[in-house]
Every structure is written in C-alpha cells, then in structure tokens.
Chains A and B, each alone.
Chain A
Amino acid sequence: MTAIDRTLSSQTMRGVRRRSPATWIRGGGLASLLFLLPMLFIFGIFSWYPIVKAVVMSFQSTNLVSAPTFVGWQNFISVFQDPQFGESIVNTAYFALLALIFGYPIPLIAAVLMSEVKRLRGLYAALAYLPVVVPPVVAILLWKFFYDASPTGVFNTLLASFHIAPQPWIENAAQAMPSIVLEATWAAAGSTVIIYLAALTGVSADLYDASEVDGAGIWKKIWHVTLPQLRGILLITFILQIIGTAQIFNEPFLMTDGGPNNATVTVLLLIYRYAFENSIGGGYGEATALSLMLAVFLAIISVVYFRITRSWSQN
C-alpha cells in the first residue's frame, strides 16, 4: 500500500461514514479474508462439515447407492443390540485400566530419577523417546514377531533362559490384552517422560531450599514439593491418557484382529468393522452412531473430571 493509497483511504473514511466495500478492502478486510482462505477451505471441507455430517448421518441410513433416509434412533438401537458392543466396551475399559496401571506411574518415576542425572541427561531423554519415533505399524509388527508363541519365539526364548515355560502371548484370550498393553506402553511412555522432564525443570529451586530449611528429607521433598508442583500436568496427562486409550485401534487391528475369541475387539475396531468391513456394505449409520456415543462419553468424562479436580485444587 502506498502513501497515496493511505491518504485516499483516510479521506474516504472521513467522507463516507459507513463501511463501503472499497473502504473494507482498503482497511485490510480483503487481505484478512485472503489469508484466511486456505484455513476456511481446509477446515470447512475436511473438519467442520464432516463433524456436522457425522451428527446427521448417525440418524440416517446411508449407503453408496441410494439417497440417505432418516431412520430416527434406529442406528443407535442396532448398535445397542449388537452383542459385540458390550464386549468392545469391556475390552476397551480393560485396556485403559491396564494401560493406566502399567503406563501411568512408569514415566513419572523415570522422569523424577532422570532429572537428577548430572551428566548425559540428553542421552537418557533420547533413549526414552526413541520408541516414540518408530512408526507404530513397524513397532506393532515387530512386537508381533517377538510374541511368536512357539518355544522358539523371541520372547519365549528369553523366558527359557530364566527357566520360564513358553507363553502363548497374543494367541491366548487371557494374555492377548496385557501383551498389547505392554507394546502400547513401550511405544508411548517416552513422550510422557519428556513432558514430565520439562515440568520438573520448571519446579523452582527455592521451594526445595525452603523445605530443606524446614528439615525435609528426600522423600518429604518429593511428596510435599515435587508432586504438588507437578499436579497440574499430572492431572492433564491422566485424562489425556484415558481419552487416548479409549481410541485404541492400531494394536488390536494389526496384532490380533480383535481375537482370540473377540478378546481384543475395541470400540474403534468395531466402528471400523461397521464402516469398512461390513459384507452387506455401508454400516455407516451404525459406525457414526457409535463414534458419536464415544465422543459424547469422553466429553462427559472430561467435564466431570475437570469439575472434580478443580474442587480438589481449591481445597
């Protein structure tokens, strides 16, 4: 914009009080809109529109041949009547629970220990993060190879050297889910470690100094300084882990395909099967209905969680 342009625009501003298209353009309105166009185009078509459409589709019968028709709550009802629906919820909840037991304390303990390292702290952090950058598909297929149930499987050979009998791992309905959780924890723990390490750096040294003046030992410092200082981030990683594990798909799909005996059919795997493995074609209504229920459930859980934890921090 040149100087003349600007004087012109200020004159028009004075002359015409109302915003005409010309003043809108000179005032930068057109430029703003042009800059927003890529985002409006991409978010509009690939995010906002599909979200609205998901709600509509859950009340419709949709297939690729004829026009969609509204069927009321029929999709929700047929999801509820599917015996796999209950199974998938139980399995997903079981996965989430195991993942919390294995996966929640380990990164915290590791990060607290690692933050005390004086030399080579970068090496510790890099090693912890390494599994996170391995593509999930490679990690899952590699662990599937390790889990080979024959006596000459990789893990079974390792166990044999400790005189432990070979395990069936993912080929057994009772062991499949814990095996999947073990792999998933290995793949994900590193990113949480890095978040905790960053948070630990932010704990002020003054707080530790002050608690030492009060005669606190190491355990008291951890309990009364470190953990309370990390409380905010611990609360967030907790709910993020629940939200994440509720949407587990890659592991059961690639490692066990929901088996053995449906022991690892998760909610997302069921959604995928409704939509893309339906031999009759187009269980799109059921798929969107179930995914909407999952989203609403997670939203309610999160809101309740933040309400409860907020009242804790006020006390």
Chain B
Amino acid sequence: MDRRILSPSDWHKPGVKWSVRLLHGIVLVVLIVAGIGPLLMLARSAITPTQDILEHPIAFFTNGVDWSTFATAWNTLGIWVQFLNTIWVSAGEWIVEIIVATTAGYALSVLQPRYGKVLYGMILATLFIPIVVILVPLYLVILHPPLLNQSMINTWWAVWLPAGASAFNVVLVKRFFDNLPREVFEAARTDGAGSFRLFWSIVLPMSKPILGVVSIFAIINAWKDYLWPLIVLQNPAVQPLSVRLPALQDQIQLNVYLAALAIATVVPIVIFLVFQRFFLRGAGLGGAVKG
C-alpha cells in the first residue's frame, strides 16, 4: 500500500487533515515563488524598456512591452555565435562521454580482463579528488599536449576531451552492465558473436535507459559549466554562453543583457521539462551511486 508517515486514520482526523493541507498549500506557494518567480522576473525584465526596469523594478509593463530586445541580443550583440558554440560544446562532450563510458563499462563489466579491477580502482580513486587539484596541471596539459605539438587553448578539444574523464559516468554504466542478464551474452557467444558484435548489437541496445541518463546529464552539465571553459576558451568566437555573458554586463542596455540571460536559460529549461523523469529519477540514482 502506498502510504507514508500519515496513516489513513491520521488523514481522517480533521485537525491533521486541514493542517497538512494548509502546509502543502504553503509549500506549493513557496515553491512557485522560489522556483518560477526569479525566472518570471527575468522574462518580464527582458521585454521591459530599460527605463521602466529602473523606475518600476517589480511592476508589470507600465509602458508597454519591448520585444525587440531578443533580436538585438541575438543579432546585434551576436549572442547567436555563443549559442551555437554552447551547442557544439555540449554535443562534443556528450559524444566523448558516451564513447568512454560505454567502452570502458563494457570492458570492465563484460570482458573482465585480469587487470580490470586495478583500472576500476584507479577510476574510482579520481572520484575522491576535488577537481580543483588538477585545474592548473590540466591547463598546462591543454597548453602543451603530450605527443601533439599544438596547443589546444581556444579549441573545443580543450573542453571535449577532459569531459570524458568522468568516473561517475563509468561507474554508472558499468553498474548497469553488471545487472544485464549473463545468459543473453552466453547465447550470443554460442551463436558466434564476437566481442564487438556483442557490444554493438546486444549490450548497447539493452542499455537505453542508462545511456539516456548519461546523455541528459552530459548535455546539461556542458550547458552549466563555467570555470573550465573560462580558463581554456579565451577567444569570444569559441566561447559558450556561460563564459560570454558575464563580459556583457557593463557593455549593453540592461534589458538586452537580461534578454541574453533569458536566451541562455531556455534550452536547459526545455530539456528539463521534456525529460523530467530522467532528472527527477536520475538524481535519486546519482544519490544511490554516491552512497
């Protein structure tokens, strides 16, 4: 039976029933104000003439609406460049993360070479090291990559490749593969499938749920990332939105700047609304793995 702290008989007591309902109403109002309020404020200010924002900070549309801010931010300010950059950055990071996590997860979970446990231990160990520790050495690696006589600064490789070193992804995918039925692998092997065939035609198609989780978080995290692209992408022509936006704040009209912020928020919010289940369940999944 689906019950929580309150039992059906608790719910029948009028005092309990109405105070819980009141509390739920308060929670809902607080959530709406805190969750939607700031975004609504952003949307309203983005289409309000700057003079009105300054004179009537919380009034709605005293002197009409100015829709042109979005076009100004997109074209004149050239936000479209960084918008496309953000898409390229997240697409590249997504591909690298998927390749590394699935191949490594498959080798460690299904093929199981003798040295696999050591490697898995070395991957797990990186989970316990704060990213800040490798900030400077990683910057120097990007500046002078080994074997490659060419700096990766101001190229997307500088954000794509390090994104693949996510121990979290490898652990998540390996654990999922561990729980796939071994009989299916045995059957495929007996039918003559080699390691590559098994990976491509059996394991990957069975792993859509976990690939979905890894994909969504790869894309959202790329969209949220700030410090690392700030360090390695100094040229505005290759910067994602997150790095470009702070540089704009003192250069342009307030409402155009806020329109640029709004543009940067739309894609993650749409992804969240469409794939809600992944987030609201995936976060629990993340908590379970961390535990």
Contacts and interface: CB of A to CB of B under 8 A. Distances in A.
Contact of B57 (A39, A154, A212): A154
A82 to B, nearest CB: 17
Contacts of A225: 5
Contacts, number: 292
Contacts of B242: 135-138
B18 to A, nearest CB: 13
Interface in B29-43: 31-32, 34-36, 38-39, 41-42
A195 B287 contact: yes
For A2, A198, A268, which residue has the most chain B Cβ atoms within 10 angstroms? Answer: A198
Nearest to B195: A31
Contact of A126 (B58, B196, B276): B276
Given A129-B279, A195-B284, A232-B291, A45 B141 contact: yes
Contacts of B220: 133
B291 to A, nearest CB: 6
A142 B38 CA distance: 8
Interface in A226-250: 226, 232-233, 236-237, 240, 243, 247, 249-250
Given A43-B165, A153-B57, A205 B3 contact: yes
B38 to A, nearest CB: 6
Interface size class of A (residues with CB under 8 A): 35 or more
Interface stretch (A48-56, A83-91, A170-178): A48-56
A36 B143 contact: no
Given A152-B54, A158-B58, A135 B241 contact: yes
A2 B136 contact: no
Interface string A39-70: 11011011111110110010000101000000
Contacts of B226: 135-137, 250
Given A122-B280, A133-B279, A142 B42 contact: yes
Contact of A291 (B1, B135, B268): B135
A113 B27 contact: yes
A251 to B, nearest CB: 11
B192 A51 contact: no
Interface string B192-234: 1011100100000000000000000000100110110001000
Nearest to B134: A50
Contacts of B135: 271-272, 275, 287, 291
A157 interface: yes
A43 B27 contact: no
B5 A112 contact: yes
Nearest to B2: A205
B237 interface: no
Contact of A124 (B27, B123, B129): B27
Interface stretch (A7-15, A93-101, A293-301, A307-315): A293-301
B279 to A, nearest CB: 6
Interface stretch (B60-68, B71-79, B105-113): B105-113
A250 B229 CA distance: 13
A160 B286 CA distance: 42
A191 B268 CA distance: 15
Q: Indicate the member of A62, A135, A208, A298 with the most B CB atoms within 10 Å.
A: A135
Contacts of A292: 133
B137 A134 contact: no
Given A122-B280, A191-B283, A195-B283, A247 B27 contact: no
A276 interface: yes
A148 B194 CA distance: 64
B256 interface: no
Given A127-B35, A134-B39, A115 B113 contact: no
Given A47-B165, A131-B34, A208-B5, A287 B136 contact: yes
Sorting the interface of chain B by its residue count into under 10, 10 to 19, 20 to 34 or 35 or more gives 35 or more
A116 interface: yes
Given A145-B258, A152-B57, A208 B268 contact: no
Interface of B: 1-7, 10, 16, 20, 23-24, 27-28, 31-32, 34-36, 38-39, 41-42, 45, 54-55, 57-58, 96, 99-100, 103-104, 106-108, 111-113, 116, 119, 122-123, 126, 128-141, 143, 145-146, 161-162, 164-165, 167, 170, 192, 194-196, 199, 220, 223-224, 226-227, 231, 241-243, 245-246, 249, 254, 258, 261, 264-265, 268-269, 271-273, 276, 279-281, 283-284, 286-288, 290-291
13 contacts: A2-B192, A32-B113, A35-B104, A36-B119, A39-B104, A42-B162, A49-B146, A51-B134, A135-B226, A203-B4, A225-B5, A247-B131, A276-B231
Interface of A: 1-3, 28-29, 31-33, 35-40, 42-43, 45-51, 53-54, 57, 62, 64, 110, 112-117, 122, 124-131, 133-139, 141-146, 148, 152-154, 156-158, 186, 190-191, 194-195, 197-200, 203, 205, 208-209, 212, 218, 221-222, 225-226, 232-233, 236-237, 240, 243, 247, 249-250, 254, 268, 271-272, 275-276, 284, 287-288, 291-292, 294-295, 298-299, 302
